[in-house]
Chains A and B, each alone.
Chain A
Amino acid sequence: MTLVAEHLTVRLYPAKGVVHAVDDVSWRLHAGKTLAIVGESGSGKTVGTLAPLGLLPPGVSADVEGSLTLDGAPPVLGREVGVVFQDPPSALNPLRRVGSQVADATGLRRRAARERAIELLELVGLPDPVRAADAYPHELSGGMLQRAMIAGALAGEPRVLIADEPTTALDPSMQDQVLDVLAELQARLALALLLITHDIGVVKRMADDIAVMYAGRIVEYGPAARLVHAPEHPYTQGLLAAIPAADAAPGTRFVGLEGAPPELTQRIRGCAFAPRCPLAIGACRTDRPQLVDGVSCHVRTGVAA
């Protein structure tokens, strides 16, 4: 079983103009593996994954080109691909019990649906699934709600789970719980996990493969071990260097990148990172680099040296 994205391009049409949100993105994800798509806000990591599945914010018009296929056919949402969204409190109806909302996702009726919902809540490691099922969203902690959301996403027994910033809205202690649950479920159900996140910490812990996105493009793509320990793209390097180190001396300056990501209202001719890149050369501003051996960089691949 393989989920394949090929040449995905997404253009969004807001009230004015156009946003080239995702520009020619390809990746593949196999059963039992975790692919982390890493990027900062506006990098296209979420839109690029959800738009091909038909999940767009209400009122937004978009063009989606390229393909997202599961073993050659477009995946069926819910039955083949489950999605866990970022902010559990706003994804759940505050006026309905958690159990009945999970039950909705099962497609079963009455008793059967409730029993299945409780089973699912147990599967995601909620200590007292019956109580959790009868609770209203505000009665559960953020971590428990997120696990209930995962339970809902698993209701259709999908083979792929897409988790969009599953821990961003949670406290650090809760984040660990949710990541543990995801890792365990993946192992037990041989799920393919697509993790969309900005948090390098989450990526380091979970990913088999990493795709780093910047300004709608993949700048670096490869096995997690290589990317984390020997990143080759200057943006990936900057991103990793920006994590405050546990052993940094108090009072030392912080390391990060200068400037801000570009506007995507026009297609960028050269490398999108060039304006912020400490290594940029002439070709970086005029020619778009191609992904060669997992790195999309003129300087690194020596193409334009």
Chain B
Amino acid sequence: MKGVAIVVGLFALLALLGPELAPYAPDDDDLEHILEGPSAAHLLGTDEIGRDQLSRMLHAARTSLSTVALVLAGALSFGVLVGSIAALRGGIVDEVLMRITDVALAVPNLVIALAILGFMGAGTTNMVFALMLAAWPAYARLSRTLIVQIKRRPYIEAVQLMGARRTWILRRHLVPAVLGPVLVYATADAGFIVVSVATLSFLGLGVQPPTPEWGQMLVSNLQFMETRPELVVFPGLALTLLVIGFNFAGERVALDRVPRPLSKRALARRRKEALA
């Protein structure tokens, strides 16, 4: 869990403080200084209408991270809700909900999001909504499976025998038990959603100019790739780091759940402690 906390914490800090640290406003154009290379005034240079690249990158951090957070929060709550209903109700309700989930899982998330955006039109809000709709089924599946396993445990049955209602059991026992594994999955999923946000914005369906977003900056600067490569490289680098960060954090948490023997050095240290 520590790895996730560090990665998420670092990016949250960036999202929170990024705009404060930015030397210029993100849409502050300066036609005297367009497409300039890095200098003391503009550490990462300027784009085609003279906006400070560093400031735009820092502002974009907030856009990227808040959209990812919104998508995850929405997909996670809706997914866990659907999964809980399916697991607790069982029977035909479970059957219907899980078939819908299966169908949604069979289609790549991005395809679903593209279809929804084609229908609703481009824009940041619509993109967040579309990605939520694409991402929830995995959470529904996961939480349903977990709840079906847990709800038969004697300690849950004991609560049933106290005369507790189903909503009580769900709130006090099932959801808290499911939340751990679901959050682990969300960590790994976050990297994918970052890429989705960038892709959709890259395609002009997501975050709209002039609001800065790393994917969208990447595409609008692509035409200057040969003259000013840093305009493309830095947004790309930021995206890559974010995705790698989330993936490593997810991997780490998943590995921590598997017991494995101590390394030789750790064992030697523990042995010394034990015999002291």
Q: Knowing A13-B267, A61-B267 are in contact, say whether A18-B262 is a contact too (CB < 8 A).
A: no
B259 touches A60 (CB 8 A): yes
Which among B259, B260, B274 has the greatest number of chain A C-beta atoms within 10 A?
Answer: B274
Q: Measured between alpha carbons, how far is A60 from B259 in the docked complex, in Å?
A: 7
Q: Does any Cβ of B come within 8 Å of A63's Cβ?
A: yes
CB contacts (< 8 Å) of A63 on chain B: these are 267, 271, 274
- Chain A window 35-65, contacts with chain B (Cβ cutoff 8 Å), 1 for yes, 0 for no: 0000000000000000000000011110100
B274 touches A59 (CB 8 A): no
Instruction: Kindly count the residue-residue contacts between A and B in the assembled complex, taking CB atoms under 8 Å apart.
Output: 25
Q: For B259, give its contact among A11, A18, A59 (CB under 8 Å).
A: A59
B261 touches A61 (CB 8 A): yes
| Residues of chain A from 56 to 97 with CB closer than 8 A to chain B in the complex | 58-61, 63
The total of chain B residues at the interface (CB under 8 A) is 10
Q: Does any Cβ of A come within 8 Å of B258's Cβ?
A: yes
B271 touches A59 (CB 8 A): no
Residue on B with the closest CB to A265?
B274
Q: Measured between alpha carbons, how far is A20 from B275 in the docked complex, in Å?
A: 10
Q: Measured between alpha carbons, how far is A11 from B271 in the docked complex, in Å?
A: 9
Q: Does any Cβ of A come within 8 Å of B226's Cβ?
A: no
Q: Measured between alpha carbons, how far is A230 from B259 in the docked complex, in Å?
A: 45
A18 touches B273 (CB 8 A): yes
Q: For A18, give its contact among B260, B261, B270 (CB under 8 Å).
A: B270
CB contacts (< 8 Å) of B273 on chain A: these are 18
Q: Measured between alpha carbons, how far is A20 from B270 in the docked complex, in Å?
A: 13
A59 touches B258 (CB 8 A): yes
CB contacts (< 8 Å) of A11 on chain B: these are 271, 274
Q: Measured between alpha carbons, how far is A159 from B259 in the docked complex, in Å?
A: 34
Q: Measured between alpha carbons, how far is A85 from B261 in the docked complex, in Å?
A: 22
Q: Measured between alpha carbons, how far is A59 from B259 in the docked complex, in Å?
A: 5
| Residues of chain B from 221 to 276 with CB closer than 8 A to chain A in the complex | 258-262, 267, 270-271, 273-274
A60 touches B270 (CB 8 A): no
A58 touches B270 (CB 8 A): no
A60 touches B274 (CB 8 A): no
B271 touches A60 (CB 8 A): no
CB contacts (< 8 Å) of B260 on chain A: these are 59
The total of chain A residues at the interface (CB under 8 A) is 9
Shortest CB-to-CB span from B144 to chain A, Å, is 24
Q: Measured between alpha carbons, how far is A11 from B274 in the docked complex, in Å?
A: 9
Q: Measured between alpha carbons, how far is A229 from B262 in the docked complex, in Å?
A: 45
A13 touches B259 (CB 8 A): no
CB contacts (< 8 Å) of B258 on chain A: these are 59
Residue on A with the closest CB to B259?
A59
- Chain B window 22-36, contacts with chain A (Cβ cutoff 8 Å), 1 for yes, 0 for no: 000000000000000
CB contacts (< 8 Å) of B274 on chain A: these are 11, 13, 18, 20, 63
Q: Measured between alpha carbons, how far is A59 from B262 in the docked complex, in Å?
A: 8
Shortest CB-to-CB span from A27 to chain B, Å, is 24
Residue on B with the closest CB to A59?
B259
Q: Measured between alpha carbons, how far is A93 from B247 in the docked complex, in Å?
A: 34
CB contacts (< 8 Å) of B270 on chain A: these are 13, 18, 61
Residue on B with the closest CB to A56?
B261
- Chain A window 165-190, contacts with chain B (Cβ cutoff 8 Å), 1 for yes, 0 for no: 00000000000000000000000000
Shortest CB-to-CB span from B2 to chain A, Å, is 14
- Chain A window 249-265, contacts with chain B (Cβ cutoff 8 Å), 1 for yes, 0 for no: 00000000000000000
Q: Measured between alpha carbons, how far is A11 from B268 in the docked complex, in Å?
A: 12
Q: Measured between alpha carbons, how far is A18 from B274 in the docked complex, in Å?
A: 6
Shortest CB-to-CB span from A266 to chain B, Å, is 9
CB contacts (< 8 Å) of A13 on chain B: these are 262, 267, 270-271, 274
Which among A11, A13, A60 has the greatest number of chain B C-beta atoms within 10 A?
Answer: A13
Q: Measured between alpha carbons, how far is A60 from B267 in the docked complex, in Å?
A: 11
Shortest CB-to-CB span from B273 to chain A, Å, is 7
Q: Measured between alpha carbons, how far is A18 from B266 in the docked complex, in Å?
A: 13
CB contacts (< 8 Å) of A60 on chain B: these are 259, 261
Q: Measured between alpha carbons, how far is A60 from B274 in the docked complex, in Å?
A: 16
Q: Measured between alpha carbons, how far is A18 from B270 in the docked complex, in Å?
A: 8
Shortest CB-to-CB span from A106 to chain B, Å, is 30
Shortest CB-to-CB span from A54 to chain B, Å, is 12
Which among A59, A60, A61 has the greatest number of chain B C-beta atoms within 10 A?
Answer: A61
3 residue pairs, one from A and one from B, having the closest CB atoms:
A59-B259, A18-B274, A61-B262
Taking A13-B271, A63-B271 as known contacts, 8 extra A-B pairs with beta carbons closer than 8 A to each other, sorted by chain A number, are A13-B267, A13-B274, A20-B274, A59-B260, A60-B259, A60-B261, A61-B270, A63-B267
Residues of A within 8 A of B (CB): 11, 13, 18, 20, 58-61, 63
6 contacts between A and B (CB under 8 A): A13-B267, A13-B270, A58-B259, A59-B261, A60-B259, A61-B261
